[in-house]
Amino acid sequence: MNYYKEIKNELINNEITKRVKDYSKNRSDLTAYYNVGKLLSEAGKHYGEGVIKEYSEKLIKELGKKYSYRSLNYMLRFYNFQNLQSITANLTWGHWIELLSIKDINKIKYYIKQCENLLLTTRQLRERIKNKEYERLDEVTKSKLIDDVSPTIVDLIKNPIVIKNNNNKEMLSEKVLQKIILEDLDDFLKELGDSFCYIANEYKIKIGNSYNYIDLLLYNIKFNCYVVVELKVTELKKEHIGQIEVYMNYIDKNLKGVMQDKTIGIIICKKDNKFIMEYCSDKRILSKEYQLI
């Protein structure tokens, strides 16, 4: 078999298909690059690994710079990793370029699921990888993902949570901390995990004859429950837990529907010069560190 000729024809046919059938560009790319990867694998067995460099030099001269040695290597890795029947339409070749730079197979699978579930763009995927989202999951959560066991709401909260901040963190007040979060709310919700959405800040509630204000009121669609977030710049105190439990009970009695799960309470507080997340609802109590960058 003339492997070079087959590879060249595969790439040319893909270019033609993309021009004629715009709707099938992505599928055509993935199918063509998978086939090229397969041919490169077979050619390598016959002629050695050096054949990829040889083919890339010829393809660059005949078809252009996009078929470099690095590009062909990505196609080979794509073939070695993927099963053609399992190629998802939600991932483009741009997604795969980001994923194939990762060596850990479980890490790749995690990001594939995130792309499929959240319809991440290539840029959003790149940002999550850059922020080491997978590495900040605890080992129990990683084991659940490997064993295909559904994680709980707290499993998917990263540790530490990354919050961008240009302020001096030693001078933070609760109001400033709230402002920092609200200024980059979308990223904060993504750091918390899947399916969190914003309802309000300084959410007004009436308890007895006085009004109180919940720092942040969120909702998690996937787990069907409200989430109360309180911000503290001191170490955790008993009264903080008592306060958030009052707020959680209020939400359960006045907002929660009969088909919704029990409200989750989160306290972000300061301890040993670090900011810690405390979950104060039932068995979901645990601490998570988060950092300002």
Condensed to tens digits (0 to 9), the pLDDT of residues 5-17 reads 888 888 888 777 7
Q: Does residue 41 sit within a domain?
A: yes
* Element housing 229 (H / E): strand 225-231
Burial class for 32, CB neighbours closer than 10 Å (0-12, 13-18, 19+): buried
Are 117 and 167 in a shared domain? no
3-state secondary structure of 233: coil
Beta bridge partners of residue 162, listed in sequence order: 291
Q: Are 102 and 108 in contact (CB under 8 A)?
A: yes
Pairing between β-strand 264-271 and β-strand 225-231 as defined by DSSP bridges: parallel
Question: Which SS3 state, helix, strand or coil, does residue 59 take?
Answer: helix
Tally of CB atoms within 10 A around 50 = 9
Q: What pLDDT shows up at residue 287?
A: 41
Residues 169 and 123 in one domain: no
Confidence of residue 289 (pLDDT cuts 50, 70, 90): very low
Q: Do 112 and 102 contact (CB within 8 A), yes or no? A: no
pLDDT digits (tens, 9 = 90+) for 31-88: 889 999 999 999 988 888 888 999 999 999 988 888 899 999 999 999 988 765 566 6
Cβ(237)–Cβ(227) under 8 Å? no
**Same structural domain for residues 172 and 238?**
yes
Q: Are 196 and 224 in contact (CB under 8 A)?
A: no
Q: Report whether pLDDT(284) > 60.
A: no
The verdict on 178 and 58 lying in the same domain is no
Q: Are residues 169 and 243 in the same domain?
A: yes
Q: Inform me whether the pLDDT recorded for 234 exceeds 80.
A: no
Q: How many domains does the chain have?
A: 2
Residue indicated by tokens 């950092």: 291
Closest CA to 198 of 207, 210, 189: 189
Residue 144 counted as domain residue:
no
- 101 in a structural domain: yes
Structure tokens at 128: 């999550």
Q: Based on the fold, state whether residues 114 and 224 are members of the same structural domain.
A: no
Residue 97 lies in a domain: yes
* CATH number of 190's domain: 3.40.1350.10
Indicate whether 126 and 214 sit together in one domain.
Answer: no
Position 283 pLDDT exceeds 70: no
pLDDT of residue 83: 62
pLDDT confidence of residue 292 = 44
Q: Is residue 154 part of a domain?
A: no
Sequence-ordered list of residues with C-beta below 8 angstroms from that of 114, at least 6 positions apart, any chain = 120, 125, 128, 133
How confident is the model over 159-212, as pLDDT tens digits?
A: 666 666 665 555 567 777 788 788 878 878 877 777 789 999 999 998 888 899
End position of a domain, from candidates 130, 153, 169: 130
Domain interval for residue 47 = 3-130
Would you say residue 174 lies in a domain? yes
Do residues 80 and 33 make contact, with C-beta atoms less than 8 angstroms apart? Answer: no
Confirm if 7 and 63 have CB atoms less than 8 A apart.
Answer: no
CA distance 211 to 172: 25
pLDDT at 160: 63
Whether residue 112 is found in the same domain as residue 176: no
Tokens of 101: 């730079």
For residues 74 and 186, state if they share a domain.
no
**Does 150 reside within a domain?**
no
